[in-house]
Chain A
Amino acid sequence: MRKKINVGKAFLFIFLTIYAVITVIPFIWALSASFKPLNEILSGGLNFIPETFTVDNYITIFTEQGLFPRWLLNSVIVAVIGTALNLVFNSMAGYALARISFPGRTVWFIIVLAVLMIPMQVTMIPNFLILRELGWLNSYQGLIVPGMINATFIFMMRQFFVNFPKEVEEAAAIDGLGRIGTFFRIVMPMAKPALGAQAIFVFMAFWNNFMAPLIIMTDASMYTLPVGLNAFQSDYATYWNYIMAASMVFTLPVLLLYIFFNQFFLKGLSFRGDK
């Protein structure tokens, strides 16, 4: 009996290992190409370890491809500010919906839930026209402001604050803190786990977004990395060494976030999976 189970397990282990290899090979292949000179890449060899190891590709994209550092900067600005605003605004809205009783609260809660179901394709054309009227095309605020709240995370923060111990706020009130002081100095610091999960997913959404910057940023110097990378590939289709180096630079920040905040990822995911 025991032997049979082990055979089954070994089979599963092999299956999982093969799938892990399939998952990881494209990344390793790209990483290896980013350290190879172009002629080695185009020679069609299958070596994962570069014959001639070079960091020239990285140096070139930062020093000679004038716009690449700019795209990186644009991406960082949009993603960092966008994430910070989301953390504050989603939490404020979630807190109000959970803890403050004001007329219209139920209606706004329903609206937040309804907004969750709107596909962005419907709003993208009108939003383009609105941003054009505001003169916000080719601007950071054009990308940040429409995305500075997120209904999913307002909902998540509401669920978090509903279960938040009332005694903490009461104690703060006795100490003479007003509502705003209580929220920012007592409640927010205690919401770290929920904020951690939120920060990662919002940052990733801004960082990886392709469609919004494609529509809103028409001036090449305002591109974010995904749009810039695509434009670069169309212009320099054969320079896979640079494209792969740029791709690696692009992936690194999210990868670091993932490594450092792994446990928040799973929390955020299981929340999303809770329907």
Chain B
Amino acid sequence: MAKWKLSKSQLRETGQGYLFMSPAILTIVVFLIGPILFALFLAFNRVNLLGDVSFDFVWFDNFTRMANDERALIALKNTAFYVGIVVPVQTILALVLASSLNAGMKGEKWFRVIYFLPTLTSSAVLVMIFMWMYRPDGLINTLLSGVGLPTYNWVNDPSVALISIMIMNIWATAPFFMVIYLAALQDIPDSLYEAAELDGASGIQKFWHVTVPLLRPVTAFAVIMGIIGTFQLFDQSYMFSGGSGGPNNSTLTVVLLIYQYAFSNNQMGYAAALAVALALIILTATLIQRKLQKDEQVY
């Protein structure tokens, strides 16, 4: 028992430790851990918030309902399509841009400053600028028709609306990953490239056989960050469609659907179940990445 007795200085350390931790602990408990437990509770209940607030325990009803919810399936399909296109394109673009910049280019700093502009800018501002450029008689259609290419109704045609968001977000996000690639590229020792040159490797061969393999851990990081980010697509879909996910559900994403159920349709229980399902998807992706990265430690 004597072991449990803390000396005076230990007691003081403990008090100071918790004093320093107290804002963090309070916020984590009230706004992170508490809500997670609360979300799990909500996911198994039918929740009514209008009039008399009530919670009815409904077992797995909210989860089985997803399989028959046509809009949930559309949202999942849209989100998967979005993730499947945006993640590879933005990652490859980021790698190509970073490698080009790293080739000892004049004005590297200026390119970097310019490329970083979209990362700084709020999603709301980017959406405003693009919605305006995407207008039927806007800048993009004017330029396209000027060089004889077909024009589109970017925002209101269900078959291109999601693609319009993809183009905008690839444009906005690729430079962020480029900066991460650039930092990693600058750590690759020149001697490796010199050795490859002695072996007669061309520029493209060096890129393919030296740069790409050495950057695999960074690529894994960029891919998983990309997956996490793209699965959570909300702001752009919401603003493009005025909150509806339209036209014809073409920009409806999982998070937008969760938002609609929770805050427009008063179905918080079902919305919470969808959120838990989304979190599990994202968590699985994260854990797979952690595992892959551990395997990469040999580098």
Contact = CB atoms under 8 A, between A and B. Distances in A.
Chain A interface residue count: which class? 35 or more
A233 B240 CA distance: 10
Contacts of B39: 122-123, 125-126
Contacts of B242: 234
Contacts of A207: 122
A30 interface: yes
Interface string A114-151: 01011111111111111000000000000001101101
B292 to A, nearest CB: 11
B183 A273 contact: yes
A145 B32 CA distance: 12
Interface stretch (B56-64, B68-76, B82-90, B268-276): B268-276
B14 A96 contact: no
B42 interface: yes
A152 interface: no
Given A125-B42, A273-B184, A46 B114 contact: no
B230 interface: no
B208 interface: no
B20 A96 contact: yes
Contacts of B122: 207-208, 210, 225-226, 250-251, 254
Given A12-B105, A124-B275, A208-B123, A24 B28 contact: no
B24 A90 contact: yes
Contact of B16 (A15, A102, A124): A102
Given A29-B129, A258-B120, A273-B221, A125 B114 contact: no
SS class of chain A's interface: helix, strand, loop or mixed?
helix
Given A230-B239, A275-B221, A122 B35 contact: yes
Interface string B95-134: 0010011011110000101111110111111111111110
A23 interface: yes
A250 B111 CA distance: 23
A16 interface: yes
A104 B241 CA distance: 48
B38 interface: yes
Contacts of A15: 100
A88 B24 CA distance: 10
B212 interface: no
A102 B14 contact: yes
A254 B101 contact: no
Nearest to B132: A240
B149 interface: no
Nearest to A258: B120
A125 B271 contact: yes
Interface in A59-110: 85, 88-90, 92-93, 95-97, 100-103, 105, 108
A148 B28 CA distance: 10
B205 to A, nearest CB: 12
A194 interface: no
B17 A92 contact: no
B282 A92 contact: no
11 contacts: A9-B103, A19-B97, A26-B133, A101-B17, A122-B279, A129-B268, A211-B235, A247-B129, A251-B121, A273-B218, A275-B293
Given A23-B118, A121-B279, A125-B262, 8 more contacts: A8-B203, A13-B105, A93-B21, A96-B16, A118-B36, A130-B31, A146-B27, A273-B221
Interface of B: 13-14, 16-18, 20-21, 23-25, 27-28, 30-36, 38-39, 42, 49, 97, 100-101, 103-106, 111, 113-118, 120-133, 137, 139, 142-143, 171, 175-176, 179-180, 183-184, 203, 217-218, 221, 228, 232, 234-235, 238-239, 242, 255, 258-259, 262-263, 268, 271-272, 275-276, 278-279, 282-283, 286, 293
A-B interface, 4 closest residue pairs, ranked by CB to CB distance from nearest:
A102-B17, A126-B35, A226-B124, A96-B20
